């Protein structure tokens, strides 16, 4: 339903977005992923109408919205800092947009109550916003954006200021809620775990361009470039020499970068039928697995292992046939 075509944005002559093409289907959650400064928040703000493009257009169901002001786009926007009105209680914050739209008071009260129930805040209507926890405040901000029934919901790092455990819980609840509502959404984050937990599709941005887009499974299995691989949380980016070799052996046919997928490398404490010898340089316990930092010659890689290993001990690696993924350069 959302169509972004050839979108470019420049500030003081410096191009921030360069020819972005993006579509979001009805009910689809698209996550914009990338480091600070890559252009993801600018793209979100331009879709919302808060920034003016230098080229391209934003459309919904074929209707050009590029010149339409933000209040006429029927889009909802949730910010990281909540941006709640301190002089209004929770219900007043949630009802604000409905009052501006002229909703009758009896319908308004019912809509506010129902929306607060949706975000897990039933009975919070009369609470002062300065008594809310960070997670509760973010739920109120979400409720305020959902209450008018926007055709597109946009979320700009809404959980970035929360601690890890609360963020993980809320992102799961958010995904469940958006899918139950059939709500189309564009979500901005720099956190790859958050992206994978929420997205139907992930668009990785870099230098104002979409570097890779696809389902979580597609982009994880085939990042395309070293930049995208790192954004997605892959660790083992290895440069090969002209013969396709590195310290781990022959991993390709020519010079270039490859991704060695940590989940496709088996670690054995004994040589067995062969394998690549490695030394354990570090070990971190992660629930039912250990993440091992291994050195092979001058190469250092991270792999996961069901069994822990002592630092300084020798292990042997078996590299599966689908463990090596070619990458198109280092950018």
Domains plus CATH for the chain?
Answer: 2-230 (3.40.50.300), 236-327 (2.40.50.140)
> How is residue 320 written in tokens?
């599966």
pLDDT(330) > 60: no
pLDDT(152) > 80: yes
**What is the rounded average pLDDT for all residues in the chain?**
91
Residue % of the chain over a pLDDT of 70: 98
pLDDT of residue 272: 63
pLDDT of residue 269: 81
Query: Across residues 5-17, what is the average pLDDT?
Result: 95
pLDDT(331) > 60: no
Helices marked H in 255-311 — which ranges? none
Report if pTM > 0.85.
Answer: yes
Query: Across residues 302-311, what is the average pLDDT?
Result: 87
Dihedral in degrees, nearest 10, Cα atoms 205, 217, 222, 275: 130
Mark 137-153 as b/e (b = at least 16 C-beta within 10 Å): bbbbbbbbbbbbebbbb
pLDDT(178) > 80: yes
User: Contact, 276 vs 319, CB < 8 A?
Assistant: yes
Query: Across residues 22-44, what is the average pLDDT?
Result: 95
**Binning pLDDT at 50, 70 and 90, where does residue 273 land?**
low
pLDDT(246) > 70: yes
Read off the pLDDT of residues 191-205 as tens digits, 9 standing for 90 and up: 999 999 999 999 999
pLDDT(275) > 70: yes
- Which range, of 31-45, 93-107, 176-190, 223-237, averages the lowest pLDDT? 93-107
pLDDT of residue 329: 56
pLDDT(167) > 90: no
Mark 57-88 as b/e (b = at least 16 C-beta within 10 Å): ebbbeeeebeebeeeebebbbbbbebebeeee
Residue % of the chain over a pLDDT of 90: 66
Pairing of strands 289-296, 299-305: antiparallel
Pairing of strands 75-78, 152-156: parallel
pLDDT of residue 81: 77
Query: Across residues 178-196, what is the average pLDDT?
Result: 94
CA distance 293 to 289: 13
- Which range, of 38-42, 131-135, 221-225, averages the lowest pLDDT? 131-135
CA distance 54 to 81: 28
User: Contact, 117 vs 110, CB < 8 A?
Assistant: no
Query: Across residues 57-67, what is the average pLDDT?
Result: 96
Query: Does 90 or 166 have the greater pLDDT score?
Result: 90
């Amino acid at each position: 339903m959302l169509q972004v075509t050839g979108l470019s944005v420049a500030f003081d002559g410096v191009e921030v977005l360069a020819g972005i093409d993006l579509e979001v289907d009805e009910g689809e959650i698209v996550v914009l992923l990338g480091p600070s400064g890559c252009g993801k928040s600018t793209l979100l703000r331009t879709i919302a109408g808060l920034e003016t493009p230098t080229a391209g257009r934003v459309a919904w169901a074929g209707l050009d919205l590029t010149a339409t002001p933000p209040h006429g786009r029927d889009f909802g926007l949730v910010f990281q800092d909540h941006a709640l009105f301190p002089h209004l209680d929770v219900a007043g914050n949630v009802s604000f947009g409905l009052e501006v739209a002229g909703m009758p008071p009896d319908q308004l009260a019912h809509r506010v109550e129902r929306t607060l129930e949706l975000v897990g805040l039933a009975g919070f209507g009369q609470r002062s916003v300065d008594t809310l926890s960070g997670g509760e405040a973010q739920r109120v901000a979400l409720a305020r954006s959902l209450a008018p029934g926007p055709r597109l919901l946009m979320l700009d790092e809404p959980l970035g200021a929360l601690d890890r455990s609360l963020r993980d819980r809320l992102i799961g609840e958010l995904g469940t809620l958006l899918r139950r509502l059939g709500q189309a959404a564009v979500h901005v984050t720099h956190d790859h775990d958050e992206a994978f937990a929420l997205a139907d599709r992930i668009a990785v941005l870099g230098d104002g361009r979409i570097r890779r887009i696809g389902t979580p499974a597609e982009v994880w299995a085939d990042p395309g470039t070293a930049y995208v691989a790192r954004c997605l949380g892959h660790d083992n980016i290895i440069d090969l020499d002209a013969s396709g070799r590195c310290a781990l052996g022959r991993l390709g046919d020519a010079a270039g970068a490859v991704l060695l997928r940590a989940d496709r490398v088996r670690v054995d404490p004994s040589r067995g039928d062969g394998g690549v010898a490695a030394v354990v340089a570090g070990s971190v316990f992660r629930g039912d697995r250990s993440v091992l930092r291994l050195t092979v010659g001058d190469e250092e890689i991270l792999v996961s292992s069901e069994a822990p290993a002592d630092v300084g001990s020798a292990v042997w690696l078996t590299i599966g046939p689908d463990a090596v993924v070619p990458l198109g350069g280092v950018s």
